[in-house]
Structure 1
Amino acid sequence: MLKSLVFSCCLLLSGLVWAKDEPKTVKIKTSAICGMCKARIEKNLAFSKGVKESNLDLKDKVVTITYDPKKTNEEQIKETIMKTGYDADSVPADAKGYEKLPACCKKDSKMSHHE
């Protein structure tokens, strides 16, 4: 009887550990300014291992990402955004990625922005 009770408790605890592997969601502030920025960030995140979904809200420049914590993490997601050429929270954009952006997508652009 005691062995079966211990076994049942172990099964219950292992079930709780598995529940922690559910997808996580993170919100990251970006330097995106237009529809082209939105498409570029979401496309690059879509090709990132472990990212299940991403949606950039241009109004507040925040991208919401749902991801599998077994396959990626918040730091890797920020790195993808940075390499794409955009700031990710307080981390500045990668210089090479930023240079590849169209002029209208750059933070210091004097051009009118398109949506």
Structure 2
Amino acid sequence: MKNVIKVFSTILIIVLSFTSANAQEPKQKTTQTAVIKTAIYCDHCKACESCGDRLEKTLLKEKGVQMITLDEKAMTIKVVYNSRKTDLTKIKTAISKLGYDADDIKADVVAYESLDGCCKK
């Protein structure tokens, strides 16, 4: 009988120690927000099919991207994304492939040439 109590007590201590160890680990925040500097020369980008609408629709198709806010006056793109599904480099590369600079990543030349004239410098 004493052996059963010892075994049960040992198992209980082990289970409780695992439970408390997991509870003390901080949860990683998965939703991240980034403001990406770009070059937008169009004064009507949010309504322009080759700027805002195309930019937003394409980026929202990227895995993990949750929200896009284009600020053509500040020349920035605010992106809310799930860091477990994507990272900032992938998002910047996607912006580049649309023909726009994304911080330190320059616009893809072929994509830039396909933009409307109002969207180029």
What is the TM-score normalised by the length of structure 2?
A: 0.76
Aligned length: 104
Q: Which residue of 1 aligns with 2:53?
A: 39
Q: Does structure 1 residue 101 correspond to structure 2 residue 112? A: no
Task: Calculate percent identity across the aligned residue pairs.
Answer: 38
Q: Helix, strand or coil for the counterpart of 1:85?
A: coil
| Residues in 1 aligned to 2:18 and 2:85: alpha-carbon distance in whole angstroms | 30
Shift of 1:72: 0.8
Q: Helix, strand or coil for the counterpart of 2:34?
A: strand
Q: Which residue of 2 aligns with 1:25?
A: 33
Larger Rg, first or second structure (1 or 2): 2
| Residues in 2 aligned to 1:73 and 1:39: alpha-carbon distance in whole angstroms | 22
Shift of 1:67: 0.6
Task: Point out where structure 1 has 5 or more consecutive residues left out of the alignment.
Answer: 108-115
Q: Helix, strand or coil for the counterpart of 2:53?
A: helix
| Residues in 1 aligned to 2:22 and 2:118: alpha-carbon distance in whole angstroms | 56
Shift of 1:106: 0.7
Q: Which residue of 1 aligns with 2:23?
A: 12
Shift of 1:99: 0.9
1:25-76 Cα distance to aligned partner (Å, 9 max, x none):
1110111233122222212111111100010111101111011111110000
Task: Point out where structure 2 has 5 or more consecutive residues left out of the alignment.
Answer: 1-11
* RMSD of aligned Cα (Å): 1.7
What is the TM-score normalised by the length of structure 1?
A: 0.80
Read off the aligned partner of 2:85 and give its amino acid letter.
K
Contact 1:21 1:70 in 2 (8 A): no
Shift of 1:5: 4.2
